[in-house]
Amino acid sequence: MRIDLHAHSAVSDGTQSPTAVMHEAANAGLDVVALSDHDTTAGWDEARSAAADAGVVLVPAIEVSTVWVGTDVHMLAYWPEASNDALQHMLASIRQGRRARVPRMLDRLAAHGVHLSEDDVRAAAGQAHALGRPHVADALVASAVVTSRAEAFDVWLGEGRPAHVAKPAPDLTTALDTVRAAGGVPVLAHPWGRGSRRALTEDALVALARAGLCGLEVDHVDHTDGDRAALRAIAARAGLVPTGGSDYHGAGKAGLALGACTTDEQAYTALRRLATRVES
């Protein structure tokens, strides 16, 4: 079984429709694929019918934006109940924070002589329910300020760059409780990717496991072989399920195909068991 538990569509900052992502998953030889758009469940219904057509199993998921000791931490939530009010309320509030951040990023760009309008960003964002830096990056590409999302992050939008604005998000432990109360299975996305390595020490991960965290995304493009070995050992010690996913974004992140990182069948089975055990 080939299982990829991390993929994005144009409902957040991927570049293909949920339908296209499901067909791409089948073409990539996947049996199971999670649609884990940032901070929204809006792609699930479309993905569900496309998955049935394409002959893949859909894991409905969300990559929830959270903050933990001042650092952005992304939390994958598998099989949460989409109709849960507290969950949808939290997601709506994160999306509102994302929308409010856009004009602030545009102000910073303008201060550096780069002029984009909110309409430019909205046009670049298309059907996206969760607006983010990648859409500002796409607008910068459309205006020929840069030639790729990667360049937009390197020059303007990445941490420490001139147009970076922090994203308001709930505390990781609040998000953990909310996801669990909605029957979801929380797994930390790329725990040692980019900035979050400093904050997510072994002690912190053990404490989070006690607080209800179920797994760690060990196999991810942002992790070196050494990181993966260390995280796998921590997961074993903390009783966390080790997972893997491609973090597919279509054309939005060059060189990352669906199935580039995968979850083994045993880990997938363990997560599914947790989904049925978690109370809603």
By CB under 5 A, name the binding residues for Zn ion: 8, 13
Q: Taking a C-beta distance cutoff of 8 angstroms, is the pair 173, 276 a contact?
A: no
Q: Are 39 and 64 in contact (CB under 8 A)?
A: yes
Where does the chain show beta strands of DSSP type E?
3-4, 32-38, 57-68, 71-78, 185-188, 215-219, 241-244
Residues numbered 8 to 67 that lie near Fe ion (CB under 5 A) are: 63
253 contact, one of Fe ion, ligand AMP, Zn ion, none, CB 5-8 Å limit per kind: ligand AMP
- In angstroms, the CA 155 to CA 157 distance is 7
Q: Closest CB to Zn ion among 150 and 204?
A: 150
Angle at CA of residue 186, ends 82 and 48, nearest 5°: 40
Among 74, 101, 149, 223, binds Fe ion (CB under 5 A): 74
Euclidean distance between CA atoms 125 and 131, whole angstroms? 7
189 makes contact, choosing from ligand AMP, Fe ion, Zn ion, none, with CB < 5 to 8 Å by partner type, with Fe ion
Name the residue nearer to Fe ion (CB basis): 132 or 183: 132
Give me 64's structure tokens: 């929830």
Closest by alpha carbon to 6, among 199, 193, 212, 278?
193
Residues that bind ligand AMP (CB under 6 A): 13, 38, 132-134, 149-150, 153, 167, 249, 253
- Total binding residues for Fe ion by CB under 5 A? 4
β-bridge mates for residue 242, sequence order: 216
User: Is the Cβ of residue 18 or residue 132 nearer to ligand AMP in the bound state?
Assistant: 132
**In the chain, helix, strand, coil percent, each to 5?**
45, 15, 40
Residue 153 binds what, of ligand AMP, Zn ion, Fe ion, none (CB under 5 to 8 Å, by partner type)?
Answer: ligand AMP
Nearer of residues 65 and 243 to ligand AMP, judged by Cβ:
65
**Shortest Å distance, C-beta 207 to Zn ion:** 27
Least Å distance between CB 277 and Zn ion? 29
Q: In b/e form, how buried is each residue of 252-274, taking b as 16+ CB within 10 angstroms?
A: bbeebebbbbbbbeebbebbeeb
Question: Is 72 a binder of Fe ion (CB under 5 A)?
Answer: no
| Cα Rg, the chain, nearest whole Å | 18
Helix (H, G, I), strand (E, B) or coil at 141: helix
Smallest gap from Cβ 208 to Fe ion, in A, equals 17
Using CB under 5 A, pick the residue from 67, 90, 131, 189 that binds Fe ion.
189
Residue 167 binds which entry of ligand AMP, Fe ion, Zn ion, none, with Cβ cut-offs from 5 to 8 Å by kind?
ligand AMP
Q: Which does 129 bind (CB under 5 to 8 A by kind): ligand AMP, Zn ion, Fe ion, none?
A: none
Closest CA to 77 of 183, 210, 229: 183
Q: How far is the CB of 79 from Zn ion (least distance, A)?
A: 20
Length, in residues, of the chain: 280
Question: Nearer to Zn ion by C-beta: 62 or 218?
Answer: 62
Binding region for Fe ion (CB under 5 A): 63, 74, 189, 247
